Amino acid sequence: MGFITDEGRIPLIGPQGIFKPAAKELPLSITTVPIIEGRPRPYEDEIGDDGLIRYRYRGRDPEHPDNVGLRMAMQRKIPLVYNYGLVPGRYQPEWPVYIVGNDPANLSFTVSVDDHYQEFPLVDPEPFNVAEPRRKYITYLTQRRLHQESFRQRVLRAYHEQCAICRLRHDELLEAAHILPDGHPRGEPTIPNGLSLCKLHHAAFDRHILGINPDYRVEVREDILREEDGPMLRHGLQGFQNTALHTPRKPELQPNRDFLAERYELFRKAG
């Protein structure tokens, strides 16, 4: 990622979380490392009570040049690029983001996301009491979308970019399905709580047209098995009755059997 100027090519991401190109006075971007299942992140960006992002300092020295650079960007209201790590080697850039707070005691900056569809100048013309609520809302929506896309990318990568039921490999038709839903107390966006499914089988799974038992076998609801329709029903749903689910090779990435058992009971009740 980068762009070309009279000074040459300038990247948008560097090896450090706070990236300042050598030719520039101020940082250009901030980066969050991707989640790797089973490993703690070096640091975790948090959402504060005010709905804005808390981005960690580089190191523990508030006077480190990178931290000083972000404070200068805050004082001058300079927009930055926020690179959110989805999976290793893949980042989702969001822009513009602004440093709107500095907390040396907790070694963190406060970051808000703005609407990149709006043309923005170097100095924000909006009154603070107008910009703040709008940016909080945009920040919330952005974080929710990034977390969902991170979950999708991690699950699809674990399943080698294919549907766990039919093995369809078209990325644009694949989704990450939660076994236990997002609002469930244990419905966290982790790979063992996810399934890589094509759009058809994701919708059928969510609506209990098909279920997956704790032995990783696919079951189709009885009334659907008895139904007579065209080839899509026969080959897309009925034909997968009692077939084996395709799962990741690593045991720690395979679907949680307890989660599947709980979800399977809902499928049985629906039948």
148-177: pLDDT as tens digits: 999 999 999 999 999 999 999 999 999 999
Strand 108-113, strand 53-56: pairing: antiparallel
**SS3 of residue 46 by DSSP:** strand
Q: Measured between alpha carbons, how far is 244 from 264 in angstroms, rounded to an integer?
A: 15
Query: In the predicted model, is pLDDT for residue 271 greater than 90?
Result: no
Mean pLDDT in residue range 183-203: 96
Query: In the predicted model, is pLDDT for residue 112 greater than 80?
Result: yes
What are the Cα distances from residue 189, in Å, to 29, 142, 167, 213, 271?
Answer: 26, 16, 22, 20, 27
Mean pLDDT in residue range 79-108: 93
Query: In the predicted model, is pLDDT for residue 117 greater than 80?
Result: no
DSSP 107: T
Q: What is the pLDDT of residue 121?
A: 47
Q: How confident is the model at residue 134 (pLDDT cuts 50, 70, 90)?
A: confident
Q: Which of 99, 97, 57 is nearest to 74 (CA)?
A: 99
235-245: pLDDT as tens digits: 999 999 999 99
Q: Measured between alpha carbons, how far is 90 from 236 in angstroms, rounded to an integer?
A: 32
CB 16 within 8 A of CB 108: no
Q: How confident is the model at residue 111 (pLDDT cuts 50, 70, 90)?
A: very high
Q: Measured between alpha carbons, how far is 96 from 106 in angstroms, rounded to an integer?
A: 24
Query: In the predicted model, is pLDDT for residue 23 greater than 80?
Result: no
**Average pLDDT, rounded, for the chain:** 88
Kindly list the structural domains of the chain, giving each domain's residue range(s) and its CATH number in brackets, ordered by start.
Answer: 16-156 (2.30.280), 162-270 (no CATH)
Q: Measured between alpha carbons, how far is 13 from 96 in angstroms, rounded to an integer?
A: 15
CB 55 within 8 A of CB 2: no
Q: Measured between alpha carbons, how far is 256 from 188 in angstroms, rounded to an integer?
A: 12
Mean pLDDT in residue range 56-61: 92
Percent of the chain surpassing pLDDT 90: 69
Residue with the larger pLDDT of the pair 44 and 21: 21
Q: Measured between alpha carbons, how far is 162 from 160 in angstroms, rounded to an integer?
A: 6
Mean pLDDT in residue range 113-134: 59
Query: In the predicted model, is pLDDT for residue 130 greater than 70?
Result: no
Distance of CA 109 to the CA centre of its chain: 21
